[in-house]
Amino acid sequence: MIKSKNQYINREISWLMFNDRVLQESADKNVPLIERLRFLGIFSNNLDEFFKVRYATIKRIVLAGKKGKSALGGEKAKDLLAEITKIVIDQQSKSLEIHDDIESELESEGIFFINETEVSDSQAEFVKNYFIEKVSPQLMTIVLNDLNQFPLLKDTEAYLAVKMILKETEKDQKDKGIVENRYALIEIPKGVDRFVVLPREGDKNYIIILDDLIRYCLARIFPMFDYVAISAHMIKITRDAELDIDNDLSKTFIEKISSSVQGRKISDPVRFVYDKSLAIDTLEFLKGKMGIEDTDSVIITPLPVKGLSLEGSLLERIAERDYLMYAPYHTFSYIIKFLREAALDPKVKSIKITVYRLAKNSQVAASLINAVKNGKKVTMQIELRARFDEQANINYAEELQAEGVKLVFGVPGLKVHSKICVIEREEGDSIKRYGFISTGNFNESTAKIYTDYTLFTANEAILKEVKIVFDFFETTYKIYKYKHLVVSPHYTKSLFKKLIDNEIQSAILGRDAYIKIKMNSFTSYEMVDKLYEASRAGVKIQLIIRGVCCLIPGVEGMSENIEAISIVDKFLEHPRVFIFGNDGDPKIFISSADWMTRNLDNRVEVGCPIYDDDIKQELIDTFEISWNDNVKARIFNGEQDNVYKKNEQPKLRSQFAIYEYYLNKINSKKLEV
C-alpha cells in the first residue's frame, strides 16, 4: 500500500472546493441572472452550515488542546483552521465581485439596485411610507450601552449595528469636548421581503435592499437621540451547531433532543461576519461585549413515469413490475399517491416508513394520519437528530403520535438515515407487500430541487428484508442477516468491498472490469484505499461526487485508473448509485449511504439491488449522461482547482439531457412491459 503525504484530500478543504463550484455557477454568464443570484444565496447558506458544524468541530479540537491529526486526515487542527480561514476569505471576496458583476448586468436589463444614498426625491415618499407601514411594526431595536448583559444574537440572523455620535453634553464640554458614542442593534425582520421594488421611473426598474431601506429611515427609529452622525452596518454570527446530548436517564429522547436544540441558541459563536466598512471602535465594542476573539472572524416541469399512471391503482401496476422514479425529472406525486391509496384501501393493514426530513406542510404526514383514521396500523421511524430539522421533526412526532401513529425513535448510538417504506395488504389468504426504497427524503419540497431515485417494488424477497429493518428498530440487540438489501452499519462496507474484490479478480484475469459510482460525498479513507487497490489492479473506475472527495484521482502507481468529476447545476445532485461490471452482468444498487465513516459505521442505511433489466439500463444510461457532461462537470484532481471538463464533443448539460432522455421515453412508441 502506497503511503504518502498526498494520499488523501482533507474533507473540510474538499467541502470548501464544492462550495467554490457553487460559486462558479453564480459567476457563469450562461446561467440566467436570477439563477446566478440564487446560487450566491446557496453559497452563503452553505458557508453558514459549514461554520456551524465542521468549523465548530475543528475549533473544539483546538480549544481542547488536541492536534486532531488522525481525525483530520493528518493535518493539525490549528493549521487547518488557518487554511480554512484563508480559503473562505478569498471565496467571500470573490462572491462580492460576482455580486457586483450581476448588478451591472441587471442594470443593462434596466434593473437598478440603489442604496440609501441614492433614493431620489420621487422615491422618498414611497420608501418612508413602506417603512412606516411594513417595516417599523416588525423591528426589534436594542440600545446597547446601558445594558448589564449583551443580548443573545440569533444564529445566522442579520442585524444592523448602529453607531450614533452624540452632540457634546454639558459635561463633555467641561471635559474639553469628549464625544460619547451610542450603539444599538436592529434585527432585520424576516417577515418583510429582503428586496423592495420601488416605483418605476420611465423605462427603469429600481430595487432597494431592506437593509438600505432601514438605513434610509434611521432618523425615524432614533428621534430621541441628539446625534451629529449615525451609521449602520450589517453583522451576523454563526454558532456551533453540534448537538450535546444530555445523559440524564430520567429524560425521554424527545426531551433530550429538544434541550440540545435549545442549547444551540446559546452555543459558542464560531464565525463573526461584518461589513468591511464597519468602524473599528464599533467592531471592538461588539467583539468585547460578545466575547469574540480575532480568530473567530472570518425549472423543469416534472414528468410522469412511463407506464405508471397517477390515475387508477398504483398498487396494481407495481404488482406487475418494478418502476423507477427519478425526481425532480419525475413528479414526486407518486409517493403521495402510493400513501394515499394505501390509507384508503380496505385490504391494506399496515404501513411502515422511515422519516428523516419532512416538508413544512407535509402531505406524507397527512397521508399517514389519514391511514390511522382509516384503521391502518402505521409505524413511523422518525430521526429526531436530522441536522437542522430536529425541532421540525419533534413537532411532527408529537402531532403524529397524538393522532395514533406508532413512533419508533431509532437505535441508540445510530442515526437512522435510510429511506424505506413497506405496506402489507391482504390478498386472498396471504399477505402481499408493496413498498419503495429511495436515495432521498420523502419531502415534496426538496424533491423539486434534489435529484433522487426511488424504486417502487412488490418484490417479496426485498420487502421482507425491508420489514426486517423495521424489526431491527424495535429489537436493536438482534443483528439480522440480509441476502438482498445492503444495510449499514453491519453489511454495507463489507459487501461493497467484496464487489470491489470481484472486479479486482476480473481485472487480474484480463477481463473487462469497471466500477461506476455516483455519491454526495466520499470521505472514508478505508474505501478510498480499496479503490486505490482496484486501480492498481487495472479496474477502470469512474466517480461522480457532488461534494467532498478525499480520493485523489490520476496519480501514477496509486490511482491512474480512476477519474472523478463533480456536477453542480440547477438541481442538487443527491442520488447514490453503485454499478459493478461483474464480468458482463452488471450488479447495480441504489442507496441512502455515501461512503463516509458515519454512513458506513454509525448510521442505519439501506441500499437496494436492482433486478429489473430495464431499470438497470436506465440507471446506466443516466449515469453515462452525467459522466459525459461537458458544461457543468468539474474535474477532481490533486490541485483542487475545479477546472471544467471540456472536450471536442457537442455540448452536453447532463441535467437537461436527462430530462430529454425521460421525455423521449414517454414519447417513444415502445410497448409497455
Catalytic residue numbers, as ranges: 417
Partners of residue 406 on adjacent β-strands: 379
**How many beta carbons lie within 10 A of that of residue 363, not counting itself?**
20
Which three cell numbers mark 137? 411594526
Distance CA 164, CA 170 (A): 18
Whole-number Cα distances in Å, 24 to 105, 273, 277, 642:
17, 22, 26, 9
Distance CA 28, CA 18 (A): 16
Which three cell numbers mark 459? 418484490
**How many beta carbons lie within 10 A of that of residue 233, not counting itself?**
19
Q: Which amino acid is at 266?
A: I
Distance CA 620, CA 319 (A): 24
413602506: which residue's cell? 130
Distance CA 367, CA 54 (A): 36
Distance CA 46, CA 572 (A): 12
Distance CA 372, CA 370 (A): 5
Angle at 53 between CA 47 and CA 58, to 5 degrees: 105
Distance CA 164, CA 141 (A): 14
In 3D space, the residue among 549, 553, 587 whose CA is nearest the CA of residue 567 turns out to be 549
- Residue 33 half-sphere exposure toward CB, CA atoms < 13 A: 13
68: region left, alpha or beta (phi > 0 left; psi from -120 to 50 alpha):
left
Whole-number Cα distances in Å, 300 to 329, 331, 627:
7, 11, 21
291: region left, alpha or beta (phi > 0 left; psi from -120 to 50 alpha):
left
Distance CA 528, CA 9 (A): 11
Distance CA 479, CA 492 (A): 14
Distance CA 309, CA 317 (A): 9
Contact 384, 409 (CB under 8 A): yes
Q: Indicate the helix (H) or strand (E) that contains 125.
A: helix 121-130
Which three cell numbers mark 581? 461490471
Per-residue HEC secondary structure of 291-335 comes to CCCHHHECCCCCECCCCCCCCCCHHHHHHHCCEEEEECCECCHHH
31 phi, psi to nearest 5 deg: -90, 135
57 phi, psi to nearest 5 deg: -65, -45
The 10 Å CB-count burial string (b at 16+, else e) for 185-215 is bbbbbeebeeebebeeeeeeebebbbbbbbb
> How does DSSP classify residue 225?
S
Q: Which amino acid is at 47?
A: L
Distance CA 18, CA 12 (A): 10
The sign of the CA dihedral 622, 627, 628, 630 is positive
Contact 235, 297 (CB under 8 A): no
